[in-house]
Chains A and B, each alone.
Chain A
Amino acid sequence: MKEFQYTITDPIGLHARPAGLLVKEIGAFQSKVTVSANGKDADGKKLIMLMSLGIKKGMEVTCRIEGEDEEAAAEALQKFFKSNL
């Protein structure tokens, strides 16, 4: 399993647009991705639950990635968070 933390710097947080892009990004991998913030977990492939985490600027988000392509997924997702959020 791979895990990383990221603190959101985007002023609006995980709003609809980046949430949609994130789900797409995660969907490209086999691995199961769990996104946790605000004391709640969400399956990274499920847009509605992901948005309902209410992720805002300044919050720390934890991503846990488990599966055959976890190495590649973790790397791609870290890059995604840095450039979009």
Chain B
Amino acid sequence: MEKYTGKSVLKGIAVGKIYCYKKKNYTLEKTEVSDKKAEAGRFEEALEAAKEQLTALYEEALETVGEERAMIFEIHRMMLEDEDYLDTVRTAIGEGTNAEYAVNSAKEKYADLFASMDDEYMQARAADIRDISDRLINILAGVGEDTIHTDSPVIVLAEDLTPSETIRMDKSKILAFVTIRGSSNSHTAILARSMNLPSLVNTQMELNDGLNGKIAVVDGFNGEFLIEPQEELLEEMIRRKNKWETDTRELQLLKGKENITSDGRVISLYANIGSVKDVDAALEADAGGIGLFRSEFLYLGRNDYPTEEEQFRSYKAVLEKMNGRKVIIRTLDIGADKKVDYFQLEPEENPALGYRAIRICLDRPEIFITQLRAIYRASFYGTAAIMFPMIVSVDEIRRIKEIVNQVKTDLADEGCPIGDVELGIMVETPAAAVISDELAEEVEFFSIGTNDLTQYTLAVDRQNQKLESTCNTHHPAVLRLIEMTVRNGHEKGIWVGICGELAADTELTGMFLDMGVDELSVSPSSLLRVRKAVRDI
């Protein structure tokens, strides 16, 4: 068996024969052309042909992947009508250069223009310029765009794929895409995702014809590409693939659907994320927002505190990607159990009950202020909310709000624009649940953190495996505290969500709806499953 690893584009499994897709070769050459007029005519014809191809691709994509994704081909066609781009080509032809080389110089000029911009999104547009230019060059050189030739469905293995190659391939003949280069942000990856094909990019392997027809497994869960696996492993993977297919077929149908019960009750389903790169998964799972953005990733695995600028960039990236949907950022939740040497936390007997989270923030306001400034600055770029962990008293919230107000005043003095930011707390200590009526007067929302709430209520260490049976997450004490928190929140007119593991426990979904919980925040991979549970009620 040969095994390669790549970046997974979609969590799924495909099993089948490999098909090596190779682009036809064309070597670009610069030649002197004597009949400039004929060369110009050749280019204009190619240009028309390219635009026709793109119109056809747009219409094809419109049917298969929808208007939003299809728009890329419309943009490509418009780029081919851009006067500056065309002028560059026409001028070069007028100087006696062959059309292929003239197009290539325009390609380099404008691809460089985008590649040098300081914005990640715009940098990626360089690929669009290359794509439209290659289309023209292929037409000029008579190198037709190839597609796959196969009777039964295959795993397409290629160096890289352009969006048009991807959309052109007969979907019923494709089990998965594996590309040796490429990024998970490319249009091709996005298309593969919307076609629900398990795919890997950037596998960094050799493409050779010897692989044609070999049995392989694309494991999008582990980012692995297995070629000719042993029989037992293959059978195991086929079992997993069948299960994945049945599950997703059902769940994919729920994208774009409301989280509504048969008797008309509605709940928001948000996603929990731990870093910027999780946002794509949240969006793919059709999350209504981010219900818990754990900010710890900014602090872990490094030697010094993250700067305000670094934090700002991360928060801004998430807010921009969520495009106006709410993003609830939880402030620093770190204690002696986490390895962050630069915090210089003393070892503790009971770190879960110790100097951690908001307790550190209120004791060392400089750390807290840096984080709050970064969040407020980023809040301008979307809909941000902040929640504070480990709250046990009203006094803590008042002290937090003093610091928050100072941060807002400072930013206003600096002329820095900020958005409206909802402030809430995690209800994860029994104390907070019990006095939730008083706490509700101070904040705009509650998010119940069931993991800690369970461990503190039942006096059970979550990490201790011997206590697993005692750690009953459905314990009536925990459920009553949740119910009480929801009731108290609603009486004071604030919304209440749940963001712990219990939120994804579909045995409890019905009970949460009965309690009137407003929002459940779960991992992106659980989201559609919970939507199904809601809709089945």
Contact = CB atoms under 8 A, between A and B. Distances in A.
A11 interface: yes
A47 B75 CA distance: 9
Interface stretch (A54-62, A63-71, A76-84): A54-62
A32 interface: no
A15 B118 CA distance: 14
7 contacts: A11-B319, A11-B324, A20-B74, A23-B78, A48-B82, A51-B125, A54-B117
A12 interface: yes
Given A20-B75, A48-B84, A48-B85, A12 B320 contact: yes
Interface in B377-428: 380-382, 417
Interface of B: 68, 71-72, 74-75, 78-79, 81-85, 110, 113-114, 117-119, 121-122, 125, 128-129, 319-320, 322-324, 380-382, 417
B78 A20 contact: yes
B71 A11 contact: no
A48 B323 contact: no
Given A11-B319, A16-B128, A46-B83, A52 B78 contact: no
B320 A47 contact: no
Most chain B beta-carbon contacts within 10 A, residue among A11, A17, A49, A57: A11
Contact of A52 (B81, B113, B322, B323): B113
Nearest to B128: A16
A17 B71 CA distance: 7
B82 A58 contact: no
B69 to A, nearest CB: 11
Given A47-B78, A47-B79, A57-B380, 4 more contacts: A11-B382, A12-B323, A16-B72, A58-B381
Contacts of A51: 114, 122, 125
B110 A54 contact: no
Interface string A1-34: 0000000000110011101100110000000000
Contacts of B323: 11-12
A7 B196 CA distance: 38
A15 B122 CA distance: 8
A25 B74 CA distance: 14
Nearest to B121: A15
Main secondary structure of the interface of B (DSSP, over half): helix
Contacts of A20: 71, 74-75, 78
A54 B306 CA distance: 28
Contacts of B74: 20
Given A11-B320, A48-B82, A54 B128 contact: no
B79 A48 contact: yes
Contacts of A45: 83
A83 B82 CA distance: 25
Given A17-B75, A23-B78, A47-B79, A56 B119 contact: yes
A52 B125 CA distance: 10
Contacts of B119: 54, 56
Contact of B114 (A15, A43, A52, A56): A52
B121 A58 contact: no
A41 to B, nearest CB: 13
A16 B77 CA distance: 12
A17 B380 CA distance: 22
B345 to A, nearest CB: 37
B74 to A, nearest CB: 6
B276 to A, nearest CB: 15
B59 to A, nearest CB: 16
B369 to A, nearest CB: 23
B75 A48 contact: no
Given A12-B320, A51-B122, A46 B75 contact: no
B381 A57 contact: yes
Nearest to B114: A52
B381 A11 contact: yes
Nearest to B122: A54
B82 A54 contact: no
B519 to A, nearest CB: 21
B342 to A, nearest CB: 33
B118 A54 contact: yes
B72 A46 contact: no
A58 B71 contact: no
A15 B117 CA distance: 13
B270 to A, nearest CB: 18
A45 B78 CA distance: 10
A16 B381 contact: no
A58 to B, nearest CB: 6
A24 to B, nearest CB: 8
Contacts of B381: 11, 57-58
A75 to B, nearest CB: 24
A14 to B, nearest CB: 10
Nearest to A43: B83
Nearest to B67: A17
Nearest to A17: B71
A67 to B, nearest CB: 17
A47 B82 contact: yes
A52 B75 CA distance: 14
A19 B121 CA distance: 13
B110 A48 contact: yes
Given A16-B72, A16-B125, A17-B71, A49 B118 contact: no
Contacts of B114: 51-52
Which of B82, B114, B323: most chain A CB closer than 10 A? B82
